[in-house]
């Protein structure tokens, strides 16, 4: 009686797992939670798209334009805010890329996770308050919105336009995207930590 011979993929699979263990990474048989590559790539795509639109607007593009864009700051406080904003944009690109590539491990995993949750909170807050702000202006409940700034002062127009709704919604979607990444990344980190303790 002949026994079935293992296929080439069945033979290669344990070898790949042994290689992962030799490289210091847990094998698939040790935990089932994959690295959140898809969620990280979606978050990265969100950040790249929004950054690309900002470049397009500053170059004179008008599609989904938020209106009058702020110029360069003229005060020290303005430059500090500008530097913080640019730093947040850089982290918004770097952190999802780092998670996707698996760069941050060990002690860097926790700060990376904190940054993802922080990005989620900032985007959700920005999107939700922006939508509520516009809704208050449209309905007339608060003509200057929650921020106390009129639509004309904020965007140069007297009415709330569909691009404004779109941008605020995009912020809100970004918060949900980074929230999904934060949850997926937390599961992965916990799985890695549990595997390390079991060794």
Q: Is 115 left (phi over 0), alpha (psi -120 to 50) or beta?
A: alpha
Cite the DSSP H helix spans in the chain. Answer: 8-22, 37-58, 76-101, 109-139, 151-155, 162-198
120, 75 Cβ separation under 8 angstroms: no
Lowest mean pLDDT among 27-36, 94-103, 190-199: 27-36
Contact 125, 179 (CB under 8 A): no
Highest mean pLDDT among 118-122, 163-167, 184-188, 191-195: 118-122
39 has pLDDT over 90? yes
Mean pLDDT of 168-176: 93
In this prediction, residue 68 carries a pLDDT of: 66
Per-residue pLDDT at 26: 44
Q: What is the pTM of this model?
A: 0.71
- CA-closest candidate to residue 49, choices 131, 185, 170: 170
* pLDDT above 60: residue 12: no
pLDDT, tens digit (0-9, with 9 covering 90-100), for 137-167: 777 777 766 676 666 666 656 666 777 788 8
pLDDT for res 33: 56
Mean pLDDT of the chain: 76
**Which one is predicted more confidently, 121 or 157?**
121
Average pLDDT over residues 122-151: 80
């Amino acid at each position: 009686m002949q026994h079935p011979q293992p296929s080439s993929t069945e033979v290669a699979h344990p070898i790949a797992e042994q290689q992962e263990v030799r490289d210091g990474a847990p094998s698939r048989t040790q935990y089932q939670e994959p690295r959140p590559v898809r969620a990280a790539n979606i978050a990265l795509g969100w950040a790249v798209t929004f950054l690309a639109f900002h470049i397009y607007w500053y170059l004179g593009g008008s599609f989904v334009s938020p209106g009058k864009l702020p110029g360069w700051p003229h005060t020290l406080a303005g430059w500090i805010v500008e530097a913080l904003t640019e730093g947040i944009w850089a982290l918004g690109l770097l952190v999802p890329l780092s998670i996707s590539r698996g760069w941050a491990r060990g002690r860097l995993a926790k700060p990376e996770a904190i940054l993802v949750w922080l990005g989620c909170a900032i985007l959700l807050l920005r999107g939700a308050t922006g939508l509520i702000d516009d809704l208050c202006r449209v309905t007339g409940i608060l003509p200057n919105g929650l921020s106390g700034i009129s639509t004309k002062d904020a965007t140069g127009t007297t009415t709330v336009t569909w691009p404004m709704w779109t941008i605020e919604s995009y912020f809100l979607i970004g918060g949900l995207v980074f929230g999904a990444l934060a949850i997926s990344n937390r599961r992965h980190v916990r799985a890695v930590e549990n595997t390390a303790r079991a060794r």
